[in-house]
Structure 1
Amino acid sequence: MTDRTQQLPTFESRVLAAFDTLAPAEQRIARFFIDQKQAVLLNSAAQIAQLAGTSDATVVRTARALGFESLSTLRAALLAELTGMPSPGTRMERTLAETGGHAGDALRHVMGIHDKALESLRHEQFAVSFERCIDILVGAPRRHVFGIGPSGAIADYASLQFNRIGLPTNALSASGIALADRLLWIGKGDAVLIMAYAPLYREVEILLEHAAQQDAPVILISDDLGPLVADKVAEILPVPRGNADHLAMHGGTMVLIEAMIVALAAKNKDAAIDSLDQLSTLRGSLDKAWAKRGTRKRK
């Protein structure tokens, strides 16, 4: 195991260096610490134990056996490594090392990663938090969806779809000083949906401060930023984005956003359908070919 250890990041090296000294139950938890880093960061000892099929005492004991004073100390070391931000090229290189050069292998690898992400959305605790998020979003006068980089495209998509079902929404998908103009859109009591990841970017920091000034509740979608801002957000929806330090994958986040669209529409079905009918009418006005498709017939 020595050769492999030398090639791995510090946290994994530390775990693997002590691996052979652990009891079998502790080895299972140690492997969980390596393979499910986001879950380790975002869950309590009891929740980690439930996910790993063991006891919370075993989780804490394993952390200490690995040389950490506590589970919190282990989390701090893990978070410090995750926020080291390997370059996109390094992330891709690590991903390709696992998939190889065959397209079929890449397909199976990515499907497996998304299966894990979707499994996290099936947990009962996640469903309860999701319900609270929907209530926040539907009850606000306006919604604002933040994301930059790849998440910016998702923020634009979520904003478009929320507007289509009659929920006024703005996309906060700009970065740098261009974001300032969009922050002005946030009014008292609005809701803010953030897709962001460690490290804590200046844009996210300022957005959280401004949302607090406007008494606008914040919902965070993230796999690693939660511990840094937990006291500044109303809800956290932890969605894995693939293996740590590998290519970030957003399939789970897209599924979550589309679940939000359906859940929000269900909260006010008639208004959602009326808004979509109006969309069809406007399309028909702009292009007569659309008019042939008609709008929903009222009974």
Structure 2
Amino acid sequence: METSDRASSVLKQHFDQHRTELSRSELAVAEYLVGLPIDVLIFKSAEEIAADAGTSDATVIRTARRLGFSGLPELKRICSRTMARTIPTSDRLEQRFRGTGSDLPKVAHQMFATAREVLSSTEEQLDEEAFAAAVSLLESADTVWCLGMGTAEVEARHCSIALSRTGLRTRCSGASGFTLANELLDLRKDDAVILFNAVHETAEFSLVTSQMAELGCKLVLVCGVQLGELYRNKVDALLTCVGSPSKLASWSLGAIVIGDLLAYGVAVKNQPRAVATKRRLAGLRSKVLSPK
């Protein structure tokens, strides 16, 4: 079996470890995957791999699991980590152009397929106990802070609005540097923080987590898989969202759904308050539309 010098060594290791456990059709899929360059593999859907390997989508997914991954998305994500660390952003964009081509209807199909993959993988990652714990601590907090680190301010703001509509008192910030430090002066022991941060441990991220520890506040971390692996036992509740190594769909998709889940969970636990808040919101909106 020939492999490209750009193929994944991680995938080759998994293949060598599990090859004797594979059926004939699974072996054909695995050999095809191992031979693909990483920058090609990450753009391949289960449907495309099945067509190229002469098998079915179900066999492709089953093969990924038999190789020791939770599914095809995790296989692509883990195999692409080295590439993500070593290739400049501008080069990765050029790779994306080569991977998708310029046929816009085809690109649209790829992006929607990747978005479904991202959401499905995020659902598979959902820890039900962590989710229940997060809802309970938010419901009992004095104020819920939704903080977005880096590019995650939109997800934090979306969650803050959704929670406020359930009757919780919320506060949202995407601040950094000295501005964030000033805002954290208002943080109190009975507050809870939902921290949205996709990947990197920035100075602001370290500042927030250290402040939480000092004050004894509750912390819900909504983050990517790699960061989640580092903080699994360091926060009160961890909810991970899956991104796509091809970057054809954003980590934000899962984070926004997680925010909606948290808000709905809080609403279900105190339905009269949620209904009363909704009615009050409707009344305020009617006054905006009809100021007289």
Q: What TM-score, normalized by structure 1, do the two folds share?
A: 0.70
CA distance in 2 between counterparts of 1:226 and 1:23 reads 30
Alignment of 1:1-299 (within 5 A): 4-6=4-6, 12-13=8-9, 15-16=11-12, 23-25=19-21, 53-54=65-66, 59=68, 81=82, 84=85, 87-123=88-124, 126-223=127-224, 224-243=226-245, 248-288=250-290
Contact 1:29–1:52 (CA under 8 A) maintained in structure 2: no
The one-character-per-residue Cα deviations of 1:6-39 (angstroms, maximum 9, x if unpaired) are 4x6xxx245448957972548759969x889xxx
| Aligned-residue offset at 1:99 | 2.0
CA distance in 2 between counterparts of 1:3 and 1:205 reads 41
Distance verdict in 2 for CA 1:245–1:106, change over 3 Å: closer
Give the secondary structure class of the aligned counterpart of 1:210. helix
Give the aligned residue type for 2:273. A
Contact 1:191–1:218 (CA under 8 A) maintained in structure 2: yes
The one-character-per-residue Cα deviations of 1:96-116 (angstroms, maximum 9, x if unpaired) are 333221222222222222222
CA distance in 1 between counterparts of 2:246 and 2:103 reads 22
Give the secondary structure class of the aligned counterpart of 1:150. coil
CA distance in 1 between counterparts of 2:243 and 2:125 reads 20
Give the aligned residue type for 2:19. A
Distance verdict in 2 for CA 1:106–1:127, change over 3 Å: farther
Q: What TM-score, normalized by structure 2, do the two folds share?
A: 0.71
| Aligned-residue offset at 1:95 | 3.0
Distance verdict in 2 for CA 1:189–1:5, change over 3 Å: farther
Give the secondary structure class of the aligned counterpart of 2:5. helix
| Aligned-residue offset at 1:288 | 0.7
Q: Which runs of 5+ in 2 are unaligned?
A: 43-61, 70-77
Distance verdict in 2 for CA 1:3–1:51, change over 3 Å: closer
The one-character-per-residue Cα deviations of 1:40-62 (angstroms, maximum 9, x if unpaired) are xxxxxxxxxx99544xxx759xx
CA distance in 2 between counterparts of 1:133 and 1:287 reads 36
RMSD over aligned Cα atoms? 3.7
| Aligned-residue offset at 1:152 | 0.6
CA distance in 2 between counterparts of 1:51 and 1:270 reads 48
| Aligned-residue offset at 1:86 | 5.2
Contact 1:15–1:30 (CA under 8 A) maintained in structure 2: no
Distance verdict in 2 for CA 1:254–1:15, change over 3 Å: same
Q: Which runs of 5+ in 1 are unaligned?
A: 37-49, 61-76, 292-299
Task: Using the TM superposition, name which of 107-116 and 172-181 deviates more.
Answer: 107-116
CA distance in 1 between counterparts of 2:63 and 2:136 reads 27
Contact 2:139–2:266 (CA under 8 A) maintained in structure 1: yes
Distance verdict in 2 for CA 1:254–1:124, change over 3 Å: closer
Contact 1:208–1:232 (CA under 8 A) maintained in structure 2: no
Q: Show the counterpart of 1:72.
A: none
Contact 2:241–2:251 (CA under 8 A) maintained in structure 1: no
Give the aligned residue type for 1:196. N
Give the aligned residue type for 1:23. R
CA distance in 2 between counterparts of 1:79 and 1:139 reads 40
Contact 1:120–1:126 (CA under 8 A) maintained in structure 2: no
| Aligned-residue offset at 1:193 | 1.0
Give the secondary structure class of the aligned counterpart of 2:133. helix
